[in-house]
Amino acid sequence: MSSQKPIRIVVVDDHDVVRRGLAILIRAFDDLDLIGSAANGIEAIDLAEKLRPDVMLMDMIMPEMDGVEATRQIREKYPDIQVVALTSSRDEAQLQAILAAGAVSFLSKNTAIDDLVASIRAAHDLTLAAKPT
């Protein structure tokens, strides 16, 4: 993507190895920019306020505050921030809860890199489409 600003991303996951792995992945794409990471939902809400990312990659199961509640609060306060949920769970009730909380999509943590990047771009496109021209 030539003259467009990179998509500003915050990664939220309680596992350090997942956050670091996603950071490496994001840095491999010129149109993506990792601007922060958080280990739980409370930190995610704080970073949403401070950094105002375009997209947050949100783990669903975390200590202190899970991804469903964090997503709900972020989407209520900052409707321009899109949330893509990441999960290792296939619990249908949890998946429905994260979508009801405002996530635009959810992906399995074992999804293909191309699918993850496409989901980030699609989430960002939703924000662009909603902005007046």
What's the pLDDT tens digit per position in 49-71? 999 999 999 999 999 999 999 99
Which residue range(s) make up the domain with 78?
7-130
Looking at the 3D structure of the chain, how many domains does it have? Answer: 1
The reply to whether 2 falls in a domain is no
- pTM, 2 dp: 0.92
pLDDT at residue 2, as a whole number: 44
The dihedrals phi and psi of 14, each to the nearest 5 degrees, come to -80, -5
The reply to whether 58 falls in a domain is yes
* Domain CATH code at residue 12: 3.40.50.2300
The reply to whether 1 falls in a domain is no
In this structure, what is the dihedral angle of CA atoms 97, 8, 34, 50, given to the nearest 10 degrees?
Answer: -80
The reply to whether 87 falls in a domain is yes
